Structure 1
Amino acid sequence: MNVDEVLEAVERVLLFRQLSPVERLILRRSWLGDDYREMARDSAYSLPYLKEVGSHLWQALSAALNQRVTKKNLHLLVNLHQQNRTGEQQNRAQEVQTDTGVEDNFIASETETEQKFPGGPVPLDSPLYINRPPIEELACTEITQPGCLLRIKAPKQMGKSSLLIRILARATDVGYKTVSLDFQEADETVFASLDKFLRWFCANVSRQLNLNPLMDEFWDEDMGSKVSCKIYFEGYLFKQVNSPLVLALNEVNRVFEHPKIALDFLPMLRFWHEQARAVEVWQNLRLLVVHSTEVYIPLKLNQSPFNVGISIGLPQFSSKQVQDLAQRYGLDWSDKIETQNGTSCGNDYTSLLMAMVGGHPYLVSVALYHLRRGAMTLEELLQVAPTPA
């Protein structure tokens, strides 16, 4: 087995979950024979943290294989398990062919996927999350950089929120505090003025950090709302939080709808990011800005937060990723598709589905959900998909 096959086997067969970026790094490098010092030297992770995560990973694999797993015997045990599993699958296939004489388009899901309609972010422990390398590893590494600014832009239902919760999980793993604000939750009255908006902003950050909002003690009308907000972070929040703070701002495009607010708030974020170069305390702030639409606010180049930091776009799934997701749903798409009259249509399942919906993550997931339930065949789904039904 090569290292990619090992990663797939561990996620889909042994642990039934997506490995975190640091777990994937440890497993990959361990399989290649590297020690923790070499991993720490070549990554943003500290040596103690790698050892701690590695220890938990070996324990999880030990429980799955019912044998003690270490870095030294990893090759032997994984290869042995794969050989045993291959033999069992061949025996089951022979039994099914003997009993039915036909092949079933659906195979038993290794992950026992729960049949829930796709909607909202893919849960952190779900086997249905598809990595889009190198996006996840880049984002989870960048969030450890002092004063970083990550910008995630993609159309709706492309996986922004699913990626966001994985970045926040990475931040939590390394001991950071995290706050996630979704501007869709803000009442319209919040956008009545910049002062009201920034007080709402600070109150929400405080509550998520389990701190009492103390804006009245730091707010100064003469100094203005933006300076008061800055002082609130410096004089209160940063002092109460003895670790880096990851501030995720989701659906920032809601702010775009209020130009008067946006023209002050967005340059403020840019200023905070630049403060990290000169003021040490601001290095503790890691900003995540997520939006789904283009920025039409007329910001000056030196005031915009959208031309600094790291920009991450989310591409559509490739055909290989669509096929991978189909397998995780428990669908066998290894053969050519046949029409109802029994003749081959000359295309594979993946190509036919992508001809209809491309690699759009949500639309692909909805199609696979219906196919896995057995409600219709792919041929029927493709006929119905573009109709009101």
Structure 2
Amino acid sequence: MSVEDILQAVEKILQDKPLASIQWFVLSQSWLGKTYSEMAEASGYGNNYIKEVGSELWQDLSVALGKRVTKKNLHLALNKYLQDNIGDRQNQIQQKSGEESSLEMVSPDFFSASKIEFPSGPVPLGSPLYINRPPLEELVCNEILHPGCLIRIKAPRKMGKSSLLNRMIAYAREQSYQIVYLDFQEADQDVFGSLDKFLRWFCVNVSRQLNLFPCLDDFWDTEMGSKVSCKIYFEAYLLQYIDCSPVVLALNEVHRVFEYPNIAQDFLPMLRFWHEQAKQDQIWQKLRMVVVHTTEIYIPLNLNQSPFNVGITITLPPFTLKQVENLALRYGLHCAADSEGTKHLAHLQAMVGGHPYLVSLGLYHLCQKEMTLEVLLETASTPVGIYNQHLRELLTLLQKEPELMSAMQQIIATDEKVELNAIAAYKLESMGLVQLNGNQAHAMCELYRLYFSQQLGKQNSANSSSTFSSNF
């Protein structure tokens, strides 16, 4: 059984006692065989706290099932529960019409092809096309309630980072929190000219979003330096003059800062220091920080300075087959409700590696009845395929950086993982082209492997022809 199956089963068992996000996390990780220590390291919570959460959860399940449940016998207890209830589920299915399935029933009438928007950008709030990836949504919403928290959301391009961030922000607004949202892609190039200029731009933007007049000169002192001046500006002005409600500082596309080592080596440790200040200074507990980026930092930082080994880290995984099926139903593709349809969707998931944007794009074209899934897959990596524009954009990015092009050629030339230098590996990961294990990389999905094999093969042929002609 998958983790999703277990989460649904426990939700039914504990109908009158909804689980908190941290309980969902402990449950899913326990099912996967993780130790409490591993959970604590991955979540940022203390080991003793994780144990207490687990103990309470096993007690609740024991009461609900009428038999003792522990972390060790979790598999046995839940499998027994599901087996005992399988007869009831079969009876319910038999009561339905032979042509009707319970999965088809959940696809509402408003999923008409004419009303579904083309996949582009973050999934709008309230959209039925947003697919939860438990326990991530619950985890970030629960974490933002903690004073002085630091949340990091990491994933390659178009994996759903902004969609998740927007839902966390909406939840924070429901708690009457104030929101400051900064996208570093919007900053002009000259903003990154120096640390002082960057931090002043940073403070001005935060001030205006909090409806406070920027008065940097009253707090900025060149003798103390930009970092200290920025801290004093937040501490003695911004956090002092807002009301008692917490402030969520959401920093999107932070990887752009990585490109400027002179700034990253000061700015990133500064965020960590602010997070640690909250442990001893009440005023900093008002600040809740969310850092969103596409790749690991490739600027050398002291472990005690990096903001990326404190707080909680959220890594967005690709869609599972079950999530692809769920999304297909939401697109009105009722064929996803039967076993034959599931087999076809498995081919789509395998082709695009479960990449949320690529899956959505494929399902959009299928629901428009523009082509069959077979044709979609056959033409996926070709110039007439639905992914052509997306693939050409990636190829253009590679062509601008010969080192990345060379690295990609190495990756598609073999089925084995390829050792790359750190910067090339992380840049390719941020583009979503590869999956990494340390600095070892392999193509993210079959679509990319096929397309770049074809394109780079053509370029090599063209170069060889050019060289041959020049010799005569």
| TM-score of the two chains, using structure 2 as the length reference | 0.59
Match in the other structure for 1:376: 371
Alignment of 1:110 with 2:109, yes or no, is yes
* 8 Å CA contact 1:115, 1:373 repeated in 2: no
Q: Give the residue type in structure 2 aligned to 1:32.
A: Q
Structure 1 Cα separation of the partners of residues 326 and 152 of structure 2: 27
Structure 2 Cα separation of the partners of residues 112 and 350 of structure 1: 19
Q: Deviations over 1:85-115 (max 9, x none)?
A: x9xx959x69xxxxxxxxxx9x975343632
Structure 2 Cα separation of the partners of residues 199 and 373 of structure 1: 49
Match in the other structure for 1:329: 331
Structure 2 Cα separation of the partners of residues 29 and 213 of structure 1: 52
Q: Deviations over 1:269-322 (max 9, x none)?
A: 011011011111011111101110221111101111011110110111110000
Q: Percent identity?
A: 61
Match in the other structure for 2:213: 212
Match in the other structure for 1:136: 137
Map 1:161-172 onto structure 2 (within 5 A).
Answer: 161-172=162-173
Match in the other structure for 1:191: 192
Match in the other structure for 1:18: none
* 8 Å CA contact 2:240, 2:283 repeated in 1: no
Q: Alignment partner of 2:337: what SS?
A: coil
Q: Alignment partner of 1:151: what SS?
A: strand
Root-mean-square deviation over aligned CA pairs:
3.1
Distance 1:238 1:110, change over 3 A: same
Q: Give the residue type in structure 1 aligned to 2:198.
A: F
**Structure 1 gaps, min length 5:** 9-27, 44-85, 95-104, 339-346
Match in the other structure for 2:249: 247
Match in the other structure for 2:146: 145
Structure 2 Cα separation of the partners of residues 383 and 30 of structure 1: 44
Distance 1:108 1:249, change over 3 A: closer
Q: Give the residue type in structure 2 aligned to 1:294.
A: E
251, 255, 258: which one aligns with 1:256: 258
Q: Give the residue type in structure 2 aligned to 1:324.
A: N
Alignment of 1:289 with 2:288, yes or no, is no
* 8 Å CA contact 1:109, 1:329 repeated in 2: no
Structure 2 Cα separation of the partners of residues 369 and 255 of structure 1: 34
* 8 Å CA contact 2:107, 2:329 repeated in 1: no
Structure 1 Cα separation of the partners of residues 378 and 231 of structure 2: 56
**Greater fraction helix:** 2
Distance 1:329 1:260, change over 3 A: same
Structure 1 Cα separation of the partners of residues 272 and 331 of structure 2: 42
Query: 1 or 2 for the larger relative contact order (CA 8 Å, sep ≥6)?
Result: 1
Distance 1:108 1:279, change over 3 A: closer
- 1:235 offset after TM fit, Å? 1.4
Distance 1:310 1:108, change over 3 A: closer
Match in the other structure for 2:358: 363
Report which stretch shifted further, 136-145 or 232-241: 232-241
Q: Alignment partner of 1:163: what SS?
A: helix
- 1:335 offset after TM fit, Å? 3.6
- 1:388 offset after TM fit, Å? 1.7
Structure 2 Cα separation of the partners of residues 159 and 330 of structure 1: 21
Alignment of 1:305 with 2:307, yes or no, is yes
Q: Alignment partner of 2:279: what SS?
A: coil
Q: Deviations over 1:186-222 (max 9, x none)?
A: 0000001111100110111111122221112221121
- Across the two proteins, how many residue pairs are aligned to each other? 302
Distance 1:34 1:357, change over 3 A: closer
Q: Deviations over 1:334-377 (max 9, x none)?
A: 34659xxxxxxxx7221121121121100000000000111111
Distance 1:30 1:170, change over 3 A: farther
* 8 Å CA contact 1:244, 1:285 repeated in 2: yes
Alignment of 1:32 with 2:35, yes or no, is no
* 8 Å CA contact 2:258, 2:299 repeated in 1: yes
**Structure 2 gaps, min length 5:** 25-92, 385-472
Match in the other structure for 1:266: 268
Q: Give the residue type in structure 2 aligned to 1:365.
A: S
Q: Alignment partner of 1:348: what SS?
A: helix
Q: Give the residue type in structure 1 aligned to 2:218.
A: E
Q: Alignment partner of 2:308: what SS?
A: helix
Q: Alignment partner of 1:152: what SS?
A: strand
Q: Alignment partner of 1:181: what SS?
A: strand
Q: Alignment partner of 2:267: what SS?
A: helix
Match in the other structure for 2:348: 353
- 1:264 offset after TM fit, Å? 0.8
Structure 2 Cα separation of the partners of residues 33 and 225 of structure 1: 53
Report which stretch shifted further, 283-292 or 207-216: 207-216
Structure 1 Cα separation of the partners of residues 12 and 174 of structure 2: 20
Q: Deviations over 1:34-76 (max 9, x none)?
A: 49xx98xx99xxxxxxxxxxxxxxxxxxxxxxxxxxxxxxxxx
Structure 2 Cα separation of the partners of residues 32 and 206 of structure 1: 45
Structure 2 Cα separation of the partners of residues 319 and 281 of structure 1: 45
Report which stretch shifted further, 235-244 or 135-144: 235-244
| TM-score of the two chains, using structure 1 as the length reference | 0.71
